[in-house]
Amino acid sequence: MTGAEFRATVAGLGDDRSASGEELPELPALLETVRLRLVEEGAEPTPGRVAAALRAQGLLLGDRAVLSVVRALRSELVGAGPLQPLLAAPDVTDVLVNGPEEVWVDRGAGLERADVRFPDEASVRRLAQRLAASAGRRLDDARPWVDARLPDGTRMHAVLPPVVVGSPCLSLRVVRHRAFTLPELRRAGTLPPGGERVLRAVLAARLSFLVTGGTGSGKSTLLASLLGLVGPRERVVLVEDSAELRPSHPHVVRLETRPANQEGAGRVTLRDLVRQALRMRPDRLVVGEVRGAEVTELLAALNTGHEGGCGTLHANAAGDVPARLEALGGTAGLPRAALHSQLAAALALVLHLVRDRESGRRRLAEIQLLEQGPRGLVRTVPAARWGRDGFVREDGWTRLARLCARGGGGAL
């Protein structure tokens, strides 16, 4: 709420004065005064308590004005404050705050400026710190950044000055509480016509795969949709750095990493969780994002009878996947030859997503198979690429169809 909107609600008044005839203070100062008083008393911002706090400041406001202050305070103290309506919108995937007057949203077609403003940089900082505290994390001058999951599942990242120049920056990734279905993705333009049939065959054949693409290309969205196709009698064990996947499946176990506490103890890594997941009888082992040394445990697991495993991986192109995995394996001390040998036996294909620069639309650009060459190194072979009328078949299509049929996925 802006100061002008607040003044417009003052009961029975047409100017900037309270019922006692005093000049009304600016809204940010008024809210801060009332908020501090309620914090000292440990009280909730109810209308009665807000009215009492206002009276203590010598302000006698009408009922509508008091309720306006209550709404503004609840916005400050509960949820994501002025960003809450944006996060609640069904089409918003990301909310980005670069400064008090720079709030951006992504509704699936690229970034656009939102009609939301903060009074000042201090308001942005307070919101970021409050959200971090709600996730059990610390955000202050000693620890000027945080990456956390909020209680409602929203992924949050915040950075404070002087690490970021100017205003505190806040990035919020909205997590859908219901996964998209494949027909919904087709209607949204993520899948080409007939693309559902190919993906259903891949899942039914229990082929192991990676969903790849750049940041914001829809990797987690597609993976969650695909996991909903897994048979209801199968046990799906998810391992994630931040719990984002919400597949529509009756038997899902979710494991999430944990940072170290202030004493530097208690950290739980993705690598730790992959090891634990292997002891939990998974029918499908899923790593939300392969980003480090856990790639060795994942490849080892998929080579020991855990068919149908999957995950996501940041990659600019499907052809870059072997090199990306090779680099990640190197961080764990896995020799190049050993990684390529395990990779050839563990993963069957790559589903690569892109985001169109002009429209901002996310789409499944291509499907490529992983194939071991004569020198033992794995390379990708194009099997299908995006087409307006459906997937266009490439050199690897025949082999993909054979893998699906052999695994019980049916004919493509």
* The most confident of 108-122, 289-303, 311-325, by mean pLDDT: 311-325
Same domain for 62 and 88, yes or no, is no
Q: What is the pLDDT of residue 188?
A: 84
Q: Which residue has the tokens 């990708």?
A: 380
Say which range, 116-125, 172-181, 222-231, 335-344, has the weakest mean pLDDT: 172-181
Of 151, 173, 195, the residue at which a domain comes to its end is 173
Residue 122 has pLDDT above 70, yes or no: yes
Domain that holds residue 114: 81-173
- Can you give the CATH number for the domain in which 378 is found? 3.40.50.300
* Average pLDDT for the chain: 81
Phi and psi angles of residue 285, each rounded to the nearest 5 degrees, phi first? -95, 125
Q: What tens digit of pLDDT does each residue of 132-177 get?
A: 887 878 888 888 998 888 877 788 899 999 999 989 999 998 877 7
At residue 400, the pLDDT reads: 94
Are both 87 and 169 inside the same structural domain? yes
* Angle formed at CA 104 by CA 155 and CA 213, multiple of 5 degrees: 55
Percent of the chain with pLDDT over 70: 81
Note the pLDDT of residue 161: 93
- Residue 169 and residue 188 in one domain: no
Q: What integer is the mean pLDDT of 324-342?
A: 88
Integer Cα distance of 185 and 179 in angstroms: 10
Q: 89: domain CATH number?
A: 3.30.450.370
* 252 and 349 both lie in a single domain: yes
The answer to whether 334 and 296 are in contact (CB under 8 A) is yes
pLDDT category of residue 78 using cuts at 50, 70 and 90? low
Query: Is the distance from CB of 31 to CB of 73 less than 8 angstroms?
Result: yes
> What is the pLDDT at residue 25?
44
* Claim to verify: residue 63 and residue 101 sit in the same structural domain: no
**In a domain? residue 148:** yes
Alpha-carbon Rg for the chain in angstroms: 26
User: Is residue 334 in some structural domain?
Assistant: yes
Co-location of 109 and 127 in the same domain: yes
Looking at 61-65, 225-229, 384-388, which range is the least confident one?
61-65
| Residue 168 shares a structural domain with residue 112 | yes
Confidence band (pLDDT; 50, 70, 90) for 10?
Answer: very low
Q: Where are the beta strands (DSSP E) in 141-283?
A: 145-149, 155-159, 169-173, 209-213, 236-240, 252-256
Do 228 and 298 have their domain in common?
yes
Residue type, 133: A
Q: Give me the DSSP letters along 104-165.
A: EEESSSSEEE-S---SSHHHHHHHHHHHHHHTT---SSSS-EEEEE-TTS-EEEEE-TTTSS
- Tally the domains of the chain: 3
pTM of the model: 0.74
Is 412 a member of any domain?
Answer: no
Establish if 411 belongs to a structural domain.
no
The answer to the question of residue 141 being in a domain is yes
The tokens for 158 are 């915040």
Residues 402 and 254 in one domain: yes
DSSP bridge partners of 196: none
Pairwise CA distance, residues 51 & 47, whole Å: 6
